[in-house]
Amino acid sequence: MESRRKPIVRYPTRSLDEPLPNIEELIQHGQITFGVIRPAGCVAVAHDGRQTVAMLVRRDGETVAELVNRLDLAIAKARLEGVRVDEVNARHIPK
């Protein structure tokens, strides 16, 4: 069976000059970290001062602006729906 590459999904990207309300609220008491976590690669982590609310892995071809916008949306999802996004550990959970 021939393997197919997953299509690159493009999310609507706001300019980084526009507000990122969820990040702005979170960093009043928490922190945002960007860097490399091996073996996952480049990641963005949001911590609200009590717990980690989102850990995103930068996708192939994804710009930093797109990653930041996805992080803002993931923070909103955690705050409004109680759903925390963890793309870092999800890659290493046996199926």
pLDDT in tens, 42-83: 999 999 999 999 999 999 999 999 999 999 999 999 999 999
* Claim: this prediction has a pTM higher than 0.85: no
Look-up of token digits 């994804």: 62
User: For the chain, what are the domain ranges?
Assistant: 21-90
Predicted local distance difference test score (pLDDT) of residue 76: 96
Which of residues 9 and 55 earns the better pLDDT score? 55
What rounded mean pLDDT belongs to the chain?
86
27-34: Cβ within 8 A, 24+ apart:
32/71, 34/64, 34/67
77, 55 Cβ separation under 8 angstroms = no
